[in-house]
């Protein structure tokens, strides 16, 4: 118990910042608690009933006091709100720099991890230090939550959509992964380990090999297999939009809206093509793939479609701010 | 003014009161007397409390070992049933349906609630809902968590989800009917002189509660119906494989269930206002602020539900708004705590048992409320949501707050309800045991949560062992703490010394103008109010008597 601490290990850039905010709230919280306890006990002892005949003086209240103890706590709470919101946006808005994308699929009761190079792992995640890592989270069944206490981050993994978050690991070591959203029988066994490695060691680990080629290659294979290639890359009749340079760029829809083609958009367009029709194209041409492709296959397809956008555009969140990027 | 309070010429047991007015099971099961219905509720929710508590004890036993002692499915059912029973069958009805039912008509100077038969109906509906839930338990249980999150509950769980959801659906109507009865009673049944600004804060608190019950509960009913449609008919509302949206379920669920948290705490605050005033012999400091803070909480409680969804994939900007509103709802709660504390200033403070519970409530609710701010702060919520930090937080509010208030209120009004006094020594001892046991159970869970132990884990990592053992040790003390009052209160009900009319020299119609225990129609003479609430100092500032 010598090393007992109320903080878990800090292994990401955000961990220290969250702990600092937590420290601020602890100070406020402990101060207030001590103040209230002290007042209650002081009054309870000082003004304890000495005779049953006591009739204390009437005190109605005090408007200045009421205002003071409403406004001052509220101002302190505004600090908590502003600080917490700033940090939250920072932790969940993708950085402008190039991220290492890792694909996580949750299913009852395991985590399947896929790397761009095609490596796969179960319940193990390897990441380098000093590099922004973006997780793309998908679920094959129920809601899970990918929680890494050492990074002070988690996000629910919601079936039917992609959720993402990013982190930058700072300290080599092995840290817990927990599933934090109750998901059935073996929820508490849906755990794993993140291994944070120095970049050089990470490269060595990566070269440890992968069967089946990179994710792009696997995605390309599926792209052929499902017949996507005939319309979406080589089509000359103009039935379907070409997928070259689509990912990460704005797309104009038939109702005039513009959306950015991110992972969620591509996913939706594969599973339910009629949900968003690109301007100038027709409905009901592409078959619906809902229920036809597993989550891992989908992720491979998306990685492949990403690779069709060259040169690699900035990441999705970054492009939100710059809608002027139109493929040339 | 308060000369209406007369010494009773005859010993209490010779006088007819609501308890000895009639005998036999029919006189209870078909009663429309709000006091008897309150007792029906008291016995039913006590039974549910001990069933729910037994599940909690088994959970804590399982967590003695990092590998768990039961199989995972059993543990998952235990925490689910603990949650469903404690939330829907104990906490929601606890104070309103027992103390509120008993006291509100007397406090406003009425013979009964506005709709006595509907009041009885609400108890039958509650029991009917309870039967569904207990059937689900007996037939093997439910394992969805009390939150019933889709698509696990709609598609993947193969336990008795429909039965449990029906139980929640049905019991909701009893809550709506109770709320409706309270609102109308408080509006229309006040006796001459009982103006809004003279209402006891107990009544104000229940008024705010009733508003949430009436406006919020239909949403959980709708949600449970949709859940059933999805599970049985595959309607495609929540399950993404059918084109539904699982996050929609969370929005609907928390649209009721966050306001419901205030259904569970406002009545506790209402009790504390009465107890603090009586045992400080002071008018509540800032009466108007305490009264309106209840309404403020009721209104704001409807716009904070999204703080349960900061990591669910809800828009970040929506999260920001919900974070802000969650901070705002803390202000009226803080106002109450400060005003209770200020009430004690220059008071005449007795350390009787109900006041000990009030001390406990103020302290523990403060901790529960402040840790709520941690959860409203988004960047911290991301780390601690779905961990033991959340468990500790809401148990500080619900058990440290509401159950403390409930125990305090039960002791405070025990002479009123039974006509007898409870043994003060035992009661103080039990209050202390509960306070110690509670803190030992739940304080370590704050630390566990920040260290990263997720909730609803049947097994856990080795490094969390020591704190879990500590928590289980606390739970065993807490369990004993709850059994002691059961024993001495049951004893005192039959054998305790006869209570005088107003043993605490308290103010309020229920002590000053209604006999102890009250007759069936509550008052021997039509009550009339001629002074402000909590007039402990004897100042008669309002001389004019407005009758009629």
A180 touches chain B (CB under 8 A): yes
Nearest to B363 by CA among A43, A6, A56, A80: A43
A79 touches chain B (CB under 8 A): no
Give the confidence band of B5 by pLDDT, cuts at 50, 70, 90.
low
pLDDT digits (tens, 9 = 90+) for A238-269: 778 888 888 888 888 888 888 888 888 888 88
- From the CA of B41, how many Å to the nearest CA of chain A? 33
What's the number of domains chain B is made of? 1
What CA–CA distance (Å, rounded) separates B464 from A4?
Answer: 11
What's the number of domains chain A is made of? 2
Place of tokens 């879990």: B468
pLDDT digits (tens, 9 = 90+) for B522-547: 999 999 999 999 998 875 544 444 43
Please check whether residue A55 lies inside any domain of the structure.
Answer: no
The reported pLDDT for the residue numbered B7 is 52
A92 touches chain B (CB under 8 A): yes
Residue in chain B nearest A21 by alpha carbon: B380
What CA–CA distance (Å, rounded) separates B127 from B490?
Answer: 22
- A92 contacts in B (CB within 8 Å)? 316
pLDDT digits (tens, 9 = 90+) for B486-512: 999 999 999 999 999 999 999 999 999
Q: Element (H or E) spanning A110, and its range?
A: strand A110-114
Please check whether residue B5 lies inside any domain of the structure.
Answer: no
Residue in chain B nearest A48 by alpha carbon: B349
Contact B382 A143 (CB under 8 A): no
Domain co-membership, A207 together with A290: no
Task: Indicate left, alpha or beta for B532 from its phi (over 0: left) and psi (-120 to 50: alpha).
Answer: beta
The partner residue sitting opposite A66, judged by closest CB among B283, B286, B349, is B286
B110 touches chain A (CB under 8 A): no
Q: Which of A174, A195, A213 is at the close of a domain? A: A213
Structural domain boundaries enclosing B234: 45-536
Helix (H, G, I), strand (E, B) or coil at B548: coil
Strand ranges across the sheet with A110-114: A120-122, A110-114, A100-107, A132-139, A163-168
**First vs last Cα of chain B: how many Å apart?**
17
What does the angle CA B253 – CA B265 – CA A64 come to, to the nearest 5 degrees? 120
The reported pLDDT for the residue numbered B501 is 92
B371 touches chain A (CB under 8 A): yes
Q: In chain B, what percentage of residues exceed pLDDT 90?
A: 89
- From the CA of B151, how many Å to the nearest CA of chain A? 6
What residues 183-202 of chain B have any CB closer than 8 A to a CB of chain A? none
What CA–CA distance (Å, rounded) separates A226 from A235?
Answer: 15
- B456 contacts in A (CB within 8 Å)? 182, 187-188
Q: How many CB pairs under 8 A join A and B?
A: 283
Secondary structure (H, E, C), A143-204: CEEEEEHHHCEEEEECCCCCEEEEEEECCCEEEEEEECCCCCCCHHHCCEEEEEECHHHHHH
Q: Give the tokens for residue A321.
A: 């701010």
Place of tokens 């208030």: B405
Q: Which of A3, A31, A44, A138 best probes binding to B when mutated, by most B CB atoms within 10 angstroms?
A: A44
pLDDT value at B29 more than 60: yes
- Dihedral of the alpha carbons of B79, B81, B86, B87, in degrees to the nearest 10: 90
Please check whether residue B20 lies inside any domain of the structure.
Answer: no
- A150 contacts in B (CB within 8 Å)? 452
The reported pLDDT for the residue numbered A245 is 81
Helix (H, G, I), strand (E, B) or coil at B222: helix
Give the confidence band of A288 by pLDDT, cuts at 50, 70, 90.
confident
B314 touches chain A (CB under 8 A): no
pLDDT digits (tens, 9 = 90+) for A297-328: 888 888 888 888 765 444 444 333 333 333 33
Domain co-membership, A77 together with A129: yes
Residue in chain A nearest B465 by alpha carbon: A1
Contact A160 B240 (CB under 8 A): yes
At residue A227, φ and ψ (nearest 5 deg) are: 80, 15
Please check whether residue B31 lies inside any domain of the structure.
Answer: no
Please check whether residue B542 lies inside any domain of the structure.
Answer: no
CATH of residue A204's domain is 2.60.40.420
What CA–CA distance (Å, rounded) separates B385 from B378?
Answer: 10
The reported pLDDT for the residue numbered A212 is 65
Buried b (16+ CB within 10 A) or exposed e, B95-124: bbbbbbbbbbbbbbbbbbbbbbebbbbbbe
Identify the DSSP state of B518.
P
Please check whether residue A188 lies inside any domain of the structure.
Answer: yes
Please check whether residue A197 lies inside any domain of the structure.
Answer: yes
Domain co-membership, A167 together with A295: no
Place of tokens 């090393």: A3
- From the CA of A160, how many Å to the nearest CA of chain B? 5
Contact B335 A83 (CB under 8 A): no
The reported pLDDT for the residue numbered B8 is 54
The partner residue sitting opposite B281, judged by closest CB among A54, A77, A188, is A54
The partner residue sitting opposite B156, judged by closest CB among A62, A147, A184, is A184
Domain co-membership, A82 together with A193: yes
Task: Indicate left, alpha or beta for A248 from its phi (over 0: left) and psi (-120 to 50: alpha).
Answer: left
Please check whether residue A319 lies inside any domain of the structure.
Answer: no
The reported pLDDT for the residue numbered A169 is 95
Half-sphere exposure of A325 (CA within 13 A, CB side): 21
Strands (E), B93-212: none
Domain co-membership, A23 together with A151: yes
Please check whether residue B36 lies inside any domain of the structure.
Answer: no
What CA–CA distance (Å, rounded) separates B265 from B209?
Answer: 9
Contact A33 B370 (CB under 8 A): yes
Contact A159 B313 (CB under 8 A): no
- B369 contacts in A (CB within 8 Å)? none
Please check whether residue A14 lies inside any domain of the structure.
Answer: yes
Exposed, middle or buried by CB within 10 Å (0-12, 13-18, 19+), for A281?
middle
Domain co-membership, A83 together with A224: no
Exposed, middle or buried by CB within 10 Å (0-12, 13-18, 19+), for B24?
exposed
Contact B386 A48 (CB under 8 A): no
What CA–CA distance (Å, rounded) separates B3 from B1?
Answer: 5
What CA–CA distance (Å, rounded) separates B406 from B386?
Answer: 27
The partner residue sitting opposite B349, judged by closest CB among A43, A70, A83, is A43
Residue in chain B nearest A81 by alpha carbon: B377
Q: Report the pLDDT averaged over residues B216-231.
A: 94
- The string of DSSP codes covering B19-39 is TTS--SHHHHHT---HHHHHH
- Total count of residues recorded for chain B: 548
Contact B331 A70 (CB under 8 A): yes
Domain co-membership, A186 together with A65: yes
Enter the pTM of the model: 0.88
The partner residue sitting opposite B363, judged by closest CB among A36, A65, A154, is A36
The reported pLDDT for the residue numbered B163 is 93
Domain co-membership, A157 together with A11: yes
pLDDT digits (tens, 9 = 90+) for B424-457: 999 999 999 999 999 999 999 999 999 999 999 9
Please check whether residue A169 lies inside any domain of the structure.
Answer: yes
The reported pLDDT for the residue numbered B120 is 96
Please check whether residue B33 lies inside any domain of the structure.
Answer: no
A99 touches chain B (CB under 8 A): no
- B374 contacts in A (CB within 8 Å)? 22, 25, 29
Q: Report the pLDDT averaged over residues B258-280.
A: 95
Structural domain boundaries enclosing A254: 215-308
Please check whether residue B17 lies inside any domain of the structure.
Answer: no
The partner residue sitting opposite A18, judged by closest CB among B149, B283, B379, is B379
Please check whether residue A313 lies inside any domain of the structure.
Answer: no
Contact B378 A84 (CB under 8 A): yes
What residues 205-264 of chain A have any CB closer than 8 A to a CB of chain B? none
Q: Which of A73, A165, A272, A273 best probes binding to B when mutated, by most B CB atoms within 10 angstroms?
A: A73
The reported pLDDT for the residue numbered A256 is 85
Residue in chain B nearest A85 by alpha carbon: B378
Domain co-membership, A192 together with A221: no
- B244 contacts in A (CB within 8 Å)? 160
Residue in chain B nearest A41 by alpha carbon: B359
- A187 contacts in B (CB within 8 Å)? 72, 76, 456-458
CATH of residue B298's domain is 1.20.210.10
| Sequence-separated contacts (24+) of A228-235 with Cβ below 8 Å | A228/A301, A231/A285, A231/A286, A233/A308
Strands (E), B116-163: none
Please check whether residue B398 lies inside any domain of the structure.
Answer: yes
- A56 contacts in B (CB within 8 Å)? 280-282, 346-348, 536-537
Please name every residue paired with A156 in a beta bridge, in sequence order, or none if there are none.
Answer: A145
- From the CA of B200, how many Å to the nearest CA of chain A? 15
Q: Which of A195, A213, A231 is at the close of a domain? A: A213
pLDDT value at B261 more than 70: yes
Domain co-membership, A134 together with A185: yes
Contact A61 B310 (CB under 8 A): no
Domain co-membership, A223 together with A208: no
Over chain B, what is the mean pLDDT? 92
Q: Give the tokens for residue B402.
A: 């509401």
Secondary structure (H, E, C), B387-412: EHHHHHHHHHHHHHHHHHHHHHHHHH
The reported pLDDT for the residue numbered A311 is 57
B319 touches chain A (CB under 8 A): yes
Contact A47 B538 (CB under 8 A): no
Residue in chain B nearest A91 by alpha carbon: B379
B459 touches chain A (CB under 8 A): yes
Give the confidence band of A1 by pLDDT, cuts at 50, 70, 90.
very low
What residues 291-310 of chain A have any CB closer than 8 A to a CB of chain B? 291
Q: Which of A159, A183, A213 is at the close of a domain? A: A213
Give the confidence band of A205 by pLDDT, cuts at 50, 70, 90.
confident
A75 touches chain B (CB under 8 A): no
What CA–CA distance (Å, rounded) separates A277 from A286?
Answer: 11
Buried b (16+ CB within 10 A) or exposed e, A172-193: eeebbbbbbbbbbbbbbebbbe
pLDDT digits (tens, 9 = 90+) for B105-134: 999 999 999 999 999 999 999 999 999 999
Domain co-membership, A203 together with A276: no
- Dihedral of the alpha carbons of A314, A315, A321, A324, in degrees to the nearest 10: 40
Q: Which of B379, B435, B457, B467 best probes binding to A when mutated, by most A CB atoms within 10 angstroms?
A: B379
Identify whether the C-beta of residue B214 lies closer than 8 Å to the C-beta of residue B176. Answer: yes
The reported pLDDT for the residue numbered A323 is 38
Beta strand A132-139 pairing with A100-107? parallel
Please check whether residue A27 lies inside any domain of the structure.
Answer: yes
Radius of gyration of chain B (CA): 23
Give the confidence band of B354 by pLDDT, cuts at 50, 70, 90.
very high
What CA–CA distance (Å, rounded) separates A183 from B157?
Answer: 9
Contact B386 A181 (CB under 8 A): yes
B204 cis-preceded (ω within 30 degrees of 0): no
CATH of residue A300's domain is 1.10.760.10
Contact A70 B335 (CB under 8 A): yes
Buried b (16+ CB within 10 A) or exposed e, A84-121: bbebbeebbebeeeebbbbbbbbbbbbbbbbbbebbbb
Q: Which residues contact B308 (CB under 8 A, 6 or more apart)?
A: B250, B254, B258, B385
């Amino acid at each position: 118990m010598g090393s007992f601490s109320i903080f878990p290990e800090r292994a990401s850039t955000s961990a220290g910042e969250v702990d600092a905010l937590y420290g601020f709230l602890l100070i406020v919280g402990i101060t207030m608690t001590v103040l209230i306890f002290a007042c209650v006990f002081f009054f309870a002892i000082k003004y304890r009933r000495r005779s049953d005949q006591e009739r204390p003086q009437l005190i109605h209240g005090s408007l200045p006091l009421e205002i003071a103890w409403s406004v001052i706590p509220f101002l302190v709470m505004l600090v908590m709100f502003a600080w917490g919101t700033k940090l939250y946006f920072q932790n969940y808005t993708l950085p402008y720099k190039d991220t290492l994308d890792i694909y996580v699929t949750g299913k009852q009761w395991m985590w399947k991890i896929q790397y761009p190079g095609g490596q796969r792992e179960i319940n193990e995640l390897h990441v380098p230090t000093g590099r922004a890592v973006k997780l793309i989270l998908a679920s094959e069944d129920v809601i899970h939550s990918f929680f890494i206490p050492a990074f002070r981050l988690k996000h629910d993994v919601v079936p039917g959509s992609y959720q993402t978050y990013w982190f930058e690991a700072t300290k080599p070591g092995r840290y817990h992964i927990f599933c934090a959203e109750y998901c059935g029988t073996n929820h508490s066994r849906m755990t794993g380990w993140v291994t944070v490695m120095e970049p050089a060691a990470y490269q060595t680990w990566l070269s440890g090999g992968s069967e089946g080629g990179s994710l792009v290659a696997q995605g390309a294979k599926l792209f052929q297999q499902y017949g996507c290639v005939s319309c979406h890359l080589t089509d000359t009749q103009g039935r379907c939009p070409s997928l070259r340079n689509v990912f990460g760029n704005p797309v104009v829809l038939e109702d005039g809206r513009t959306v950015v083609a991110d992972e969620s958009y591509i996913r939706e367009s594969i599973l339910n093509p009629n949900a968003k029709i690109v301007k100038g194209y027709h409905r009901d041409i592409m078959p619906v793939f809902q229920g036809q492709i597993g989550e891992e296959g989908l992720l491979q397809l998306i990685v492949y479609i990403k690779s069709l956008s060259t040169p690699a555009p900035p990441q999705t969140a970054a492009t939100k701010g710059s809608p002027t990027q139109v493929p040339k | 003014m308060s000369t209406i309070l007369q010494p009773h010429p005859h010993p209490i047991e010779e006088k007819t009161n609501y308890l000895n007015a009639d005998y036999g099971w029919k006189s209870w099961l078909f009663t429309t007397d709000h006091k008897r219905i309150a007792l029906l509720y008291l016995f039913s929710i006590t039974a549910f409390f001990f069933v729910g508590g037994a599940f909690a004890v088994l959970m804590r036993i399982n967590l003695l070992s990092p590998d768990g002692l039961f199989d995972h499915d059993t543990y998952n059912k235990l925490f689910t049933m603990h949650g469903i029973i404690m939330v829907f069958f104990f906490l929601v009805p606890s104070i309103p349906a027992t103390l509120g039912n008993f006291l509100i008509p007397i406090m406003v100077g009425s013979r009964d609630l506005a709709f006595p038969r509907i009041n009885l109906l609400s108890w039958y509906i509650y029991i009917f809902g309870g039967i569904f839930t207990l059937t689900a338990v007996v037939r093997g249980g439910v394992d969805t968590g009390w939150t019933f999150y889709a698509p696990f509950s709609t598609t993947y769980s193969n336990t008795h989800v429909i039965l449990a959801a029906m139980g929640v659906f049905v019991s909701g109507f009893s809550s709506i009917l109770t709320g409706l009865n309270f609102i109308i009673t408080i509006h229309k049944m006040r006796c001459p002189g009982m103006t809004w600004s003279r209402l006891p804060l107990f009544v104000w608190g229940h008024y705010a509660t009733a508003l949430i019950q009436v406006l919020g509960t239909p949403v959980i009913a709708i949600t449970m119906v949709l859940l059933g449609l999805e599970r049985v008919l595959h309607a495609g509302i929540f399950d993404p494989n059918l084109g539904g949206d699982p996050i929609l379920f969370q929005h609907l669920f928390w649209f009721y269930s966050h306001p419901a948290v205030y259904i569970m705490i406002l009545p506790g605050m209402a009790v504390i206002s009465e107890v603090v005033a009586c045992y400080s012999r002071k008018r509540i400091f800032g009466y108007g602020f305490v009264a309106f803070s209840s309404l403020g909480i009721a209104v704001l409680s409807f716009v904070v539900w999204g703080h349960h969804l900061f990591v669910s994939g809800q828009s970040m900007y929506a999260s920001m708004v919900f974070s802000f509103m969650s901070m705002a709802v803390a202000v009226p709660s803080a106002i109450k705590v400060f005003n209770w504390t200020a009430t004690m200033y220059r008071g005449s403070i007795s350390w009787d048992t109900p006041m000990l519970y009030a001390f406990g409530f103020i302290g523990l609710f403060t901790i529960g409320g402040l840790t709520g701010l941690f959860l409203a702060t988004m960047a911290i919520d991301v780390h601690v949501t779905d961990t033991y930090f959340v468990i500790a937080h809401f148990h500080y509010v619900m058990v440290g707050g509401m159950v403390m208030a409930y125990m305090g209120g039960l002791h405070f009004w025990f002479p009123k309800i039974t006509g007898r006094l409870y043994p003060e020594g035992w009661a103080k001892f039990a209050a202390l045991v509960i306070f110690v046991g509670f803190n030992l159970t739940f304080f370590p869970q704050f630390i566990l949560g920040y260290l990263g132990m997720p909730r609803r884990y049947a097994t856990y990592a080795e490094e969390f062992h020591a704190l879990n053992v500590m928590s289980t040790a606390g739970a065993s003390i807490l369990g004993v703490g709850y059994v002691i009052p059961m024993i001495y209160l049951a004893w005192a009900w039959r054998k305790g010394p006869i209570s005088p009319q107003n043993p605490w020299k308290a103010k309020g119609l229920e002590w000053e103008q209604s006999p102890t225990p009250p007759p069936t129609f509550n008052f021997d003479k039509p009550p009339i109010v001629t002074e402000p609430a909590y007039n402990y100092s004897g100042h008669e500032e309002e001389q004019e008597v407005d009758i009629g």
